[in-house]
Amino acid sequence: MEDAPEQKMILASLAYHWSEADRAVIRFSKSRGLEYSREFKNGGTASMGCLALQPLEILHNILRELDFESLGAMRCLNIQSRDVVGTLPAYRDLATFAHNALRALSATGLLSKHSAKYLYSILCQDRCIGCTSFGSFLFLPTGCRCCFSCIETNPEMVIVSASAAAALFGLADKALRQIAIITTVLGDYGISRKTHRRRIRIVSRQEARKVGILIHGSEEEMERAIALGIRRGKVLRENDRPQRAANRSIPQPPGANDTLRFMACTPFPYLDVQRRRIDNGVCCRGCEYNWYRRDEDFPSGYSISQDLFRKQNKTFSEDEYLVHFENCHSARMLWDGYILKGKRLSESVRSTIFRT
């Protein structure tokens, strides 16, 4: 069902996408396709084997369990395989609507990490794994959807270098290979736009800790191994000799604002399958107004400022925003005082009334 004209006007005039947040994570400036070879293997005469005899529905059920690297290779077999993969809903919709995320997975070495079925399920649900708010980003190590606030502050989304994870949890290289290892993409990250000119390997601290406990048998045994400078690559058995680390210094985990977190995330839209509509998430001009006018319109205090800052950066789905609008005094004020009077909230107008 089409939105009412008034709802469309509300979204167009008082909701905005927070583009600075997109620029804080892995983002590609040009919307190129995935970097698969466009040429068929063996001149396009390679066979799909017994798969070619299967009905399309069965083929799709099989193919959606594959990762995108495997699907990309299969597309290059022949014309039939290209068409079969191209009509797979998970492949088609992710390649169409989330190509930036697929490029990020490819650039970081994780294109083979998650199945098309799994990524498609995340594309079609919009809640952040950490706080259940609308999430407009993909956390690459686990393939979970997250919001910007959780990228910044959620302890389960702390990112450390692979070498730091090895020292923190007593892991040899073999153990580290059990989790997703990201090779970072050069660029500027975080709201502060910190430049990273060297590619490094990073991992989820939480995932590394889980492997550490599994490898060592318990958290207590892991702590003991760390204290002794021992690193293990697999679950210890009677005849195994654990590897002793040359350097026993334990690096401290990064703080909440460390830019490594942003180097492990990328924008990820939500696909409303029923309406075939993409939602990238929006913020509220009314809440933005409150933030810039906080010194004049609100009592002073750290908690007040923090609350206003969180609300300014809160992202809604478009449907959620229409509900929020009804209860946001400042958004209603802007609607009644400007939009209904035919005044656009251009950047120059906002700088005047917001007093930025």
Instruction: Give the other-Cβ count within 10 Å of 89's Cβ.
Output: 13
DSSP 287: H
pLDDT at 356: 58
Query: Token pair for residue 170?
Result: 């007593």
66-70, 181-185, 203-207, 309-313: the lowest-pLDDT one: 309-313
Rounded Cα gap, residues 324 and 19, in angstroms:
20
pLDDT at 24: 96
24-38, 172-186, 265-279: the lowest-pLDDT one: 24-38
Note the pLDDT tens digit of each residue in 86-144.
999 999 999 999 999 999 999 999 999 999 999 999 999 999 999 989 999 999 999 99
| pLDDT greater at residue 84 or residue 322 | 322
Rounded Cα gap, residues 193 and 189, in angstroms:
5
- Run of H or E residues at 15: strand 15-16
Whether 68 and 107 have beta carbons less than 8 Å apart is answered as no
Owner of token pair 């290289």: 173
pLDDT over threshold 70, residue 157: yes
Note the pLDDT tens digit of each residue in 30-69.
655 555 445 555 555 666 666 666 778 888 999 999 999 9
Q: What is the mean pLDDT of the chain?
A: 87
Query: Token pair for residue 138?
Result: 């993909």
Percent share of the chain, pLDDT over 90: 65
Query: Token pair for residue 265?
Result: 């995330």
